[in-house]
């Protein structure tokens, strides 16, 4: 079980350009690791664009933003280009990292059950430890909650 104060599990995934990115590449920096269900859907677009719009503020805190979903590298590339996203999107088509971070869950919509990503954000400190976990994220105002948590 992942908890605040524990070490964040390392992983390596391809980014929107197909380049391999590992969590350990960012040691010494704060990391905003946010998991989202799907590129180009209303909630996910709104969340990504709010991080984009506040990107200069996040950069001042020396924080790195990493978005993770089960979408393909090419889907991420199109999504990042369409909305001019200045941060890294990671593709987890095999859902290994989604499971590792406990965000691949059974969901329910209109009485149908299916597996999907529960919108979750982890803030990881400079030493690689989990500083804060936001479960079942509501998109509106989430970027402000994350900014507040970085100040602590």
Give the model confidence (pLDDT) of 95-113 as tens digits: 999 999 999 999 888 889 9
- Residue pLDDT, tens place only, 31-79: 999 999 999 988 889 999 999 999 989 888 889 999 999 999 999 999 9
Q: Which of 96, 36, 100 is nearest to 66 (CA)?
A: 36
Of the candidates 8, 44, 137, 146, the residue annotated as catalytic is 44
Question: Do residues 71 and 91 touch, judged by C-beta distance below 8 A?
Answer: yes
pTM over 0.85: yes
| Domain annotation for the chain: domains and CATH numbers | 29-151 (3.40.30.10)
Structure tokens at 31: 């990391």
Kindly tell me the number of DSSP H helices and DSSP E strands found in the chain.
Answer: 5, 9
Q: Say whether 49 is catalytic.
A: no
């Amino acid at each position: 079980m992942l908890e605040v104060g524990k070490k964040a599990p390392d992983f390596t995934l391809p980014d929107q350009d197909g380049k391999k990115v590992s969590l350990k590449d960012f040691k010494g920096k704060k990391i905003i690791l946010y998991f989202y269900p799907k590129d180009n859907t209303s909630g996910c677009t709104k969340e990504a664009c709010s991080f984009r719009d506040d990107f200069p503020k996040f950069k001042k805190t020396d924080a790195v933003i990493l978005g993770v979903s089960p979408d393909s590298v090419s889907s991420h590339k199109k999504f990042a280009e369409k909305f001019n996203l200045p941060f890294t999107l990671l593709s987890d088509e095999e859902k290994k990292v989604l499971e590792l971070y406990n965000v691949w869950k059974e969901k329910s919509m209109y009485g149908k059950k299916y597996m999907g990503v529960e919108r979750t954000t982890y803030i990881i400190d400079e030493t690689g430890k989990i500083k804060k976990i936001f479960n079942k994220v509501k998109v509106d105002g989430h970027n402000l909650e994350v900014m507040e948590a970085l100040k602590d």
